[in-house]
């Protein structure tokens, strides 16, 4: 029996508080009707980014102030070194999982669409610390340790102690698992009843 997605629910959360009051967790949820096989990962990423903007604007209008300082957008050279994007689908997955901000995702989309995508990473700015001098740097592309065949999900979870999709994304960023293995983990951690999105194999 083939399950067909008929409805999709997306939620974003933010911890904020009115001045002088305890913090509260604000949540914005939207339900969508799914047509056919459902939305693509690109459409999901755009929907999550739009919800996040709506929640931030609504909280601001209600007098709420975020209790955590938003992380500053990282420069393009750092994003390229960390995630080594080769397909737009991976960018949209990282955006949907919160690993990228909307501005960072857009910078990587332009990077893939431009001439730098087939060459060396962009040159750091003068005031930017080189990736090799930072405390943590992602493994370079030539050090990719992913096998030629996808390993079972149970083996990946046991070997890398993966307990969430966010952790799976971090392992993928270190190039320890393949894109196919990441997608298998994504299906594993997707709530029951939600059909996984199809994704094209990276080049």
Predicted TM-score (pTM) of this structure: 0.38
- The residue assigned the tokens 């700015």 is 125
Domain that holds residue 88: 72-123
Per-residue pLDDT tens digits of the chain, which is 203 residues long: 567 777 888 888 888 888 888 888 888 999 888 777 777 777 888 888 889 899 989 998 999 888 866 678 889 888 888 888 888 888 888 887 777 888 888 899 898 887 655 444 555 555 444 444 443 334 444 445 556 678 888 888 988 888 888 888 878 877 788 888 888 888 888 765 444 444 434 43
Give φ, ψ of 66 to 5 degrees: -55, 135
Is the residue at 201 inside a domain?
no
155 & 176 share domain? yes
**Domain count of the fold of the chain:** 3
Is the residue at 198 inside a domain?
no
Q: Which tokens in the block code for residue 86?
A: 């080769």
State the DSSP H helix or E strand holding residue 159, giving kind and residue range, or none if neither. helix 153-160
160 & 180 share domain? yes
51 & 97 share domain? no
Angle in degrees, CA 5, 9, 12, rounded to 5: 150
């Amino acid at each position: 029996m083939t399950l067909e997605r008929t409805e999709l629910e997306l939620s974003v959360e933010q911890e904020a508080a009115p001045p002088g009051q305890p913090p509260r967790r604000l949540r914005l949820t939207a339900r969508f009707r799914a047509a056919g096989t459902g939305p693509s990962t690109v459409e999901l990423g755009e929907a999550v980014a739009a919800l996040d903007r709506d929640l931030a604007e609504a909280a601001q209008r209600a007098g709420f102030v975020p209790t955590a300082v938003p992380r500053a957008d990282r420069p393009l050279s750092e994003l390229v070194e960390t995630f080594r994007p080769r397909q737009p689908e991976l960018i949209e997955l990282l955006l949907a999982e919160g690993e990228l901000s909307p501005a960072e995702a857009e910078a990587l989309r332009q990077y893939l669409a431009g001439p730098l995508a087939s060459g060396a990473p962009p040159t750091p700015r003068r005031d930017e610390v080189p990736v090799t001098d930072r405390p943590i740097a992602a493994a370079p592309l030539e050090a990719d340790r992913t096998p030629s065949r996808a390993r079972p999900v149970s083996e990946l979870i046991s070997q890398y102690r993966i307990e969430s999709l966010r952790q799976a994304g971090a392992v993928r960023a270190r190039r320890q698992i393949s894109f196919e293995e990441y997608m298998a983990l994504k299906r594993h951690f997707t709530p029951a009843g939600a059909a996984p999105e199809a994704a094209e194999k990276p080049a």
